Amino acid sequence: MSRILVVDDEIRYCQILDLMLRHENHEVVTATDGQQAARLVDEQELDVIISDLSCLPITGWISCDTGMSWRRRFLSFVLTAFGTIPSAVEMVREGPLTI
Record the pTM: 0.73
Mean pLDDT by 10 residues, the chain (99 residues): 92 96 97 86 87 62 43 65 75 55
pLDDT value at residue 70: 47
In sequence order, the 6+-apart residues with CB closer than 8 A to the CB of 77 are 48, 49, 50, 51
**Which pLDDT tens digit goes with each residue over 40-66?**
888 888 898 888 876 655 544 454 444
pLDDT value at residue 2: 92
DSSP codes of every residue in 13-50: HHHHHHHHHHHTT-EEEEESSHHHHHHHHHHS--SEEE
Q: Of 72, 64, 14, nearest to 5 (Cα)?
A: 14
User: Domains in the chain, start-ordered, CATH in brackets?
Assistant: 3-94 (3.40.50.2300)
